[in-house]
Chains A and B, each alone.
Chain A
Amino acid sequence: QGSFIDALVVLQMMVRDALNQAMDEELERDERVFLLGEEVAQYDGAYKVSRGLWKKYGDQRIIDTPISEVRAGLRPICEFMTFNFSMQAIDQVINSAAKTCYMSAGFQAVPIVFRGPNGSSAGVAAQHSQCFAAWYAHCPGLKVVSPWNSEDAKGLLKAAIRDDNPVVFMENELMYGVPFEMSEEALSKDFVLPIGKAKIERPGNHVTLVSHSRCVGHCLDAAAVLAKEGIECEVINLRSIRPMDTDAIEASVMKTNHLVTVEGGWPQFGVGAEICAKIMEGPAFNYLDAPVTRVTGVDIPMPYAKILEDNSVPQIKDIIFSIKKTLNV
């Protein structure tokens, strides 16, 4: 007999803890799952995402690796301290993980998760700030996922671990410490979100905003400001970059007639560029009242100085400006 108070209790959970919970549950559920990476065990994780797991599961299942490429045949979760370091192992991710199922005609599956922080942080300069969404999403054979909030983090990580294919799971360092409400459903051990499905975080009629990861929050902030001026934005959280939920974007554009994409990565050949191409190839094109606008990071290596860094990534004012230009208001 449940108490009516249960329904009122809403737990706040940080993204880092949601990721931790996802891994903990999946490690418990399936003994073929294990975690390896630099400092994931005794150090509790460079960003503390794997805190407590080594104490609970021990040396065999939580493995500290020396700095080197990683490959295994069970159901590994491979942590890259940041995706910038994944470039050291990128041949393995693409040529050994992504292509193997296809090359072997389905004989050899590669159920592996590559996870870690992606994109810019704060003051970590050019070699540590790149967004790899476009690079990985370019490759068939990979699935590429980019959570925003705690619910995304937990549900999508569990999905990624249970998926029998190589999944690139892109987290965001600046989001690790951000708390979000978690529903009772999200707290359950079987909470899994489907890969390939976007979520409408905020419905609206005037313009569609499509984003992933931290920028989703910026879009919601911009939408709140514009709502006061009578502009209602529909904010779509992509959740998956590959496969991308094109249907959701198209349905929204056919309703709003305007589309603005927002990402932290560089513009050329990026996520926004792909969305533009997809929209032009599909039924939503005829519903556009204006060209699609892409809001992106500036097309430069990330500078260190704060004033320069702040102006190298999309700010809320850039999103608002772009929406108004697109709507011609």
Chain B
Amino acid sequence: TQTFICCDLHGLEEGPADTAVLTRDQGLSYYRCMQTIRRMELKADQLYKQKIIRGFCHLYDGQEACAAGIEAGIERTDHVITAYRAHAFTYTRGVSVREILAELTGRQGGVAKGKGGSMHMYAPHFYGGNGIVGAQVPLGAGIALACQYQGNGQICVALYGDGAANQGQLFETYNMAALWKLPCVFVCENNRYGMGTSVERAAASTDYYKRGDFIPGLRVDGMDVLCVREATKFAADHCRSGKGPILMELQTYRYHGHSMSDPGVSYRTREEVQEVRSKNDPISLLKERMLSNNMASAEELKEIDGEIRKEVDDAAQFATSDPEPPLDDLCKYIYHNSPPVQVRGTNPWAKLQSVSSS
């Protein structure tokens, strides 16, 4: 099926093509991806309320089309880095739901062996998972520099939110990326709120796609997985052709509060959340598109839902039954490729030994 792609442009004479094609296989793949993310995040919500997950937990439900669309628009060999709302990207970059949930529950089977938690998950060509707002963006430019240096034709997608968009280090990064023509796609996931502060109260300009100034930018509907994919492809091509960095703003929405300790309704109304859920849900949008174009039957999608439910339930089962990491792991991986060092414990008689990674 063909869809109309709508795009606001900054510093660009033309953007992605007006229309895009969605094949049945692609549709089913994006549906499965987004639904898995949705169910995984809702399972995390449940586990958090049962106190099986602790600490920070920033959920992504509502924003699925961003992660799914970006992954559909880049190559597996490209690179992705994001902030702390990172479970979905950990998944799209190839980590299983099992390993993600087990990391959230702090078990040895977690993708970071229980050492990292929600905000610190990594995978090949996926650099987390970063807890300090905005800090991942200069890192993203650095990854892009490595791509350029090695001449491998790869690009880096560096994501951040509307809150981080006002961080000074972003503007320093824009300057250097543009100066050196780094193959970096900066992506602002604008979900309208930086924790409890709406964009109007935080930013002198809420046209985040223009904030790169001399860096060209585009803004698309982040709830439409096809729009996200097409914009991402366009942006990736721009970088790969040596034109330098580009900025992409995805207008999206999170159903949950900032984190599990934020009910999310002190700074926005329940009606607003409901409205987005009923009129703009990314999974529903795709589902309706596929059904109305006879690309899949309702039963087929329901079957996929069932498979995903089982996958997530099995993952949760693993995540709650897998043992915690052994105490021997305490001093593992402080350093890489380094001889062991003595590590001081809580008192001078507690002499531990480090084990480096290699």
Residues on A facing B (Cβ under 8 Å):
38-39, 42-44, 46, 64, 66-69, 84-85, 87-88, 121-128, 267-268, 293-301, 303-308, 311-315, 318, 321-322, 325
Contacts and interface: CB of A to CB of B under 8 A. Distances in A.
A268 B342 CA distance: 13
Contacts of A296: 344, 346-347
A314 B106 contact: no
Q: Which of B103, B114, B133, B345 has the most CB of A within 10 A?
A: B345
B82 to A, nearest CB: 14
Nearest to A121: B55
28 contacts: A42-B266, A64-B197, A66-B166, A66-B194, A68-B167, A68-B168, A88-B134, A125-B119, A125-B120, A125-B131, A126-B120, A126-B131, A294-B348, A295-B347, A298-B344, A299-B344, A303-B114, A303-B330, A304-B55, A304-B115, A304-B120, A307-B325, A308-B330, A318-B346, A318-B350, A322-B347, A322-B349, A325-B349
Contacts of A297: 346
B163 A67 contact: yes
B343 interface: yes
B131 A298 contact: no
Given A42-B267, A67-B133, A295-B347, 9 more contacts: A43-B267, A88-B134, A123-B54, A125-B120, A300-B331, A300-B334, A305-B107, A305-B117, A306-B54
B145 to A, nearest CB: 22
B330 A311 contact: yes
A319 to B, nearest CB: 8
Contact of B344 (A46, A267, A313): A267
Nearest to A315: B346
A127 B119 contact: yes
Contacts of B279: none
A146 B267 CA distance: 32
Contacts of A299: 343-344
B168 A305 contact: no
Given A67-B167, A123-B117, A39 B346 contact: no
Report the interface size class on chain B: 35 or more
Given A66-B194, A122-B54, A298-B352, A306 B344 contact: no
B56 interface: yes
B78 interface: no
Contact of A66 (B203, B266, B346): B203
B83 to A, nearest CB: 11
Given A125-B116, A308-B330, A295 B166 contact: no
B340 to A, nearest CB: 13
A317 B110 CA distance: 29
A69 B134 CA distance: 13
Contacts of B203: 66
A2 to B, nearest CB: 42
A23 B274 CA distance: 38
Contacts of A267: 344
Interface in B311-327: 324-325, 327
A301 B334 contact: yes
